[in-house]
Structure 1
Amino acid sequence: MSETHGIHTVDTGFHRADFDAAYLMVEDGRAAFIDTGTTHSVPRLLAALAATGLQPEDADWVIVTHVHLDHAGGAGALMQALPHARLLVHPRGERHMVDPSALIAGASAVYGADEVARAYGSIAPVPKERVVTSHDGMTVQLAGRTLTVFDTPGHARHHHCIWDERSRSVFTGDTFGLSYREFDTARGPWLLPTTTPVQFDPAALKASVQRLLSQAPESMYLTHYGRVQGVAALGAMLLEQIDELVQLATPLRDAPDRHAQLKQALSATYLRRVRAHGCTLADEEVLRLLANDIELNAQGIGVWLEGGKR
């Protein structure tokens, strides 16, 4: 568990090491969690809190960037363990935290019911009276430390990011893409946009990324995975790739084998880009590490091409 500015990165253990992060912020003896991983992650989060010398009673906030299960699936179980905490969620996500049945059904449609049960565990509801809904520009306090909410659609319509003035950093959820440490080179991190089903909107995503960049942050705290710096260059990389996704996908709108062609096009794009970044991993290893993202990104682009019908 690494730490800077009172921010602790916690590996949730989802899928593989260094894949899914939650963040524990500690300020003057009070704590906040930002994203939670899955229900299986909760013991790791509580252990991280204990490692700072704090107790469950010392946690004031659980903040989820959006309600996809790798970010918020553990929120209900974590709230059960934190007696005084409130849950901060985008207003479009509130109903899914209070009653996760539709969320579970949606994830089951993408992954299959057995995989949802295996990977995410039992999804606990959060009592409505403990839920606080956000709005753009809203601030919350952690022992006097101000956290500001930015509404950031594009990956999902129920997505917000958290600006921490103290560290001049943003907790980005999935808005600022994915950056796995296996692809770090002498040039720094490499990242890619995530277009998972079902609300990918490239124009909105670009606007959200540009808004985050306008804060001139020193760091971005990505759920997938960890703290990255060199933010301006990474932002340019991300915006360029969003445009490229639109360009490669649009001609495939009516292709009978569209999903297979999208996966093939994404695979070729990622291989080309990691090679240009100086990555020396074998092609097979690159594609293995990105296999889940290739599948889900292709699904999400397909929904966007259909006009978001699902």
Structure 2
Amino acid sequence: MPDFIDDLGHGLYAIDTGFQRPRFDAAYLMIEDGRAAFIDTGTNHAVPRLLAALDTLGVARNAVDWVIPTHVHLDHAGGVGLLMEALPNARALVHPRGLRHMVDPKALWLSALTVYGDAEMQRSYGKLVPVPAERAEASHDDQVIHLAGRPLRLIDTPGHARHHHAIWDEASRSWFTGDTFGLSYRVFDVDGRAWILPTSTPVQFDPDALKATVARLLAAEPVAMQVTHYGRIGGSVDEVRRLAALMLDEVDDMVALARQLRDAPDRHERLKAGLLDGYLARLRVHGHPADADAADWLAMDAELNAQGLEVWLDRAPAA
């Protein structure tokens, strides 16, 4: 099997989309009784790998029934339209707040352009392909769909973005969480234990909504979380709860730092530096050396989280 495919059991496969660097951005392929679904797709550049995964696993392209982005940020959904051109029977199931952006991605492109700039957009994402309206539908909270009889439950999961849903798979007792359960990079695993950090990427971060979402996810007593960045984490109910507590504690620290720097003249740079320092300090507690390589790996997250926190700060009332 190619090294960009990880077999997770229960008919689940994590596919490294190749976005930015190895083991950074995952798409998931679910196979049940010869039928298949993709959950998140990565960008346009990931589509050849997704199709290669089908070929490797012996799944016909007309056997894919669903393409389900957790939300419409481009590292999760940028490749949906192009992928569906190769999957004649697939339907896209999208959060109702994100559906129009899959059918007409112009506003989505312009929004991302303000964050990343034109050169990065062309390099990392490529031209967005619209999904035909007749092949796309909106999800709704507590919706249940089936893949060859395998039930998948979708719930509304705001906090990272308002156009975000998560998918519960009873067969593996796991959630596909997109970005609502944070980021957990395998390079920071220590003795098999994962480390996690929240993501407040612009522009809809809401800490209170995120806490409520995490509580709702935990209520299902999942034994694992399938995070887009990156892969399956957990392994037991207790381990998932440990990771949730760690992430929510970090959310509180991030919010406190942002409020402290609300009126600082050099707010962005101080916020970015403070976030990075906090991540590295927590990594050391985790048992990781938190060296220069770790700082380099986390620099972009510190930048994007600082941007998102500032958007939240500017619309939140002063404490």
- Is this contact kept in 1: 2:160–2:204, CA < 8 A? yes
| Aligned Cα root-mean-square deviation (Å) | 1.1
Instruction: State the one-letter code of the partner of 1:233.
Output: R
Instruction: State the one-letter code of the partner of 1:60.
Output: D
Question: Does residue 274 in structure 1 map to residue 283 in structure 2?
Answer: yes
Kindly report which structure 2 residues correspond to 1:190-201, keeping only aligned pairs within 5 A, or say none: 190-201=195-206
CA deviation map 1:1-22 (0-9, x unaligned): 1221100010000000000000
Per mean C-alpha deviation after superposition, the further-off stretch among 57-66 and 230-239 is 230-239
Please, which of 247, 257, 265 is the counterpart of residue 248 of structure 1?
Answer: 257
Whole-angstrom distance in 1 between the partners of 2:290 and 2:141: 41
Structure 2: 5+ residue stretches without partners: none
Question: Does residue 2 in structure 1 map to residue 6 in structure 2?
Answer: yes
Whole-angstrom distance in 2 between the partners of 1:213 and 1:235: 8
Structure 1: 5+ residue stretches without partners: none
Shift in Å, 1:280? 2.0
Shift in Å, 1:281? 4.3
Residue of structure 1 equivalent to 2:172 = 167
Whole-angstrom distance in 2 between the partners of 1:299 and 1:281: 23
Whole-angstrom distance in 1 between the partners of 2:55 and 2:273: 45
Kindly report which structure 2 residues correspond to 1:144-223, keeping only aligned pairs within 5 A, or say none: 144-186=149-191, 188-223=193-228
- Is this contact kept in 2: 1:13–1:41, CA < 8 A? yes
Residue of structure 1 equivalent to 2:111 = 106
Shift in Å, 1:218? 0.7
CA deviation map 1:214-248 (0-9, x unaligned): 11101100000000012110011111111111111
CA deviation map 1:120-171 (0-9, x unaligned): 0111000011011011100111000000001000000000000001110000
Residue of structure 1 equivalent to 2:68 = 63
Instruction: State the one-letter code of the partner of 2:63.
Output: D
Residue of structure 2 equivalent to 1:72 = 77
- Is this contact kept in 2: 1:155–1:205, CA < 8 A? yes
- Is this contact kept in 2: 1:187–1:278, CA < 8 A? no
Shift in Å, 1:187? 6.2
Whole-angstrom distance in 1 between the partners of 2:311 and 2:289: 33
Shift in Å, 1:186? 2.0
- Is this contact kept in 2: 1:58–1:84, CA < 8 A? yes
Instruction: State the one-letter code of the partner of 1:56.
Output: R
Runs (4+) of structure 1 moved beyond 6 Å?
none
Whole-angstrom distance in 2 between the partners of 1:157 and 1:6: 30
Whole-angstrom distance in 2 between the partners of 1:272 and 1:2: 30
Instruction: State the one-letter code of the partner of 1:85.
Output: A
Whole-angstrom distance in 2 between the partners of 1:139 and 1:147: 5
Question: Does residue 115 in structure 1 map to residue 120 in structure 2?
Answer: yes
Shift in Å, 1:254? 1.3
- Is this contact kept in 1: 2:30–2:36, CA < 8 A? yes
Identity of counterpart residues, as a percentage? Answer: 61
Instruction: State the one-letter code of the partner of 2:231.
Output: G
Whole-angstrom distance in 2 between the partners of 1:150 and 1:257: 39
TM-score (norm 2): 0.95
- Is this contact kept in 2: 1:94–1:133, CA < 8 A? yes
TM-score (norm 1): 0.98
> How many residues matched?
308
Whole-angstrom distance in 1 between the partners of 2:250 and 2:290: 21
Please, which of 266, 277, 293 is the counterpart of residue 301 of structure 2?
Answer: 293
Whole-angstrom distance in 1 between the partners of 2:127 and 2:188: 33
CA deviation map 1:166-210 (0-9, x unaligned): 110000000000000010002600000000000000000111011
Question: Does residue 264 in structure 1 map to residue 281 in structure 2?
Answer: no
Whole-angstrom distance in 2 between the partners of 1:89 and 1:187: 34
Whole-angstrom distance in 2 between the partners of 1:238 and 1:254: 26
Whole-angstrom distance in 2 between the partners of 1:146 and 1:118: 37
